[in-house]
Amino acid sequence: MPPGLNTGDSAWVLVSAAMVLLMTPGLAFFYGGMVRAQNVLSIIFMSFVSIALVTILWFGYGYGLVFGPDVGGAGLIGFGDLRFADISPVMLHGRVPTYAFALFQLTFAIITVALISGSVAGRTRLGPWIIFSVLWVTLVYFPIAHWVFDPAGWISRWGVLDFAGGLVVELNSGMAGLALAIALGPSVRFRRREPPQPSNIPLVMLGLGLLWFGWFGFNAGSAMTDGSVAVTAFLSTMIAGAAGMLTWLVIEWFRFKHFTRLGSATGALAGLVAITPSCAYVSSEGAFVVGVVAAVVVSFAVTWKLVLGYDDTLDVVGVHGAGGVVGVVLIGLLATGAVASPTKGLLYGGSIELLLKQIAAIFAVAIYSFVVTYLIGKAVDKLLRMRETEAEQLAGTDVQLGTEG
């Protein structure tokens, strides 16, 4: 046993990695229930293929780009051993094996790629989607993850707080989804103003359950320890998800005089998204506020596409983009300075400096993610025809799977 290894922490990180990995199948079911019947298998496949694809890229070179020695001290990208070959089972990251840490971080990259697929569900060819995913995770996810998650990254060094990926996963996927949706253009059904037709609401609720379960590993696992920080993140995650669901139901009642299952699921997801960056920095009361505010903001954000005309099919922009912004901004107001970081938010006696840094980081990540994703999406569509024809869209994307469809 290597000196400094904490077996309890190591066990928790390994369990958390498995929990976060389960979130991607959960997302597949969540998305699968939201799309039309002829698109279910393909959207599920897009999530599952990201598991295999990103895993190979991560251990091929991704881990080195994110957590390798910083290039030139600029905080923009790392450059470690690109084949993971210099890492052994006895090497430690803090008090846990580097293998465990790398596996945990891998699951974040996997689900971020899978999230983007929801923005273009029902109009994407699977082969070009895979090529897009390779380019996107390499040129967008890996650099942003280095900026935020690696201590040498420029956003991390700047003092911006993001405990579990509000910038890297949530905002990044939301802005990438927006860019790709614009790059490929609206679907034929969106242009015809045909309303969505969810194929299976029970599948959505099953997906939500798996996502919620995995989110405890997502947030509490980011503590890299099984102590007070993990417990705080775990509790905050539970409260914010519940507050988001109940708030959405209240909003629906006042607006429509009835509840919807899809709405309740979206509200819970909004709360979970927003608490991701702030889970270890806020109190239980703060977590409740995060959940409520997220549900209110997201309930309006999911309608922006109808006004602005971009076809964000499964509301990746509205839920993950807007929800991520809410969570990152509220750290600047609600951080208690009592658990994971001594830095306090404005409402707890801190200065406005933290809030301004949080907002600046949002703009930096959003602009980079949007611009680079748009260029990748346009290039892949131009060279490989990523977007389906109108006839293919009407027939359904499951046709691509041959006899399995």
- Mean pLDDT for each consecutive 10-residue tract of the chain (405 residues)? 88 98 98 95 96 97 95 93 84 95 98 98 95 98 98 97 98 98 94 86 97 98 95 98 98 90 95 98 98 98 94 96 98 95 96 97 98 98 95 88 60
Q: What is the pLDDT of residue 400?
A: 80
- Between CA 6 and CA 299 the distance in angstroms is 43
Q: What is the pLDDT of residue 398?
A: 83
Q: What is the pLDDT of residue 405?
A: 47
Q: What is the pLDDT of residue 169?
A: 98
pLDDT digits (tens, 9 = 90+) for 82-112: 778 888 899 999 999 999 999 999 999 999 9
Tokens at 169, concatenated: 């996963």
Q: Is the dihedral of CA 363, 364, 365, 368 positive or negative?
A: positive
- Between CA 166 and CA 145 the distance in angstroms is 11
- Between CA 248 and CA 79 the distance in angstroms is 44
Fold of 7-395: Ammonium transporter fold (1.10.3430)
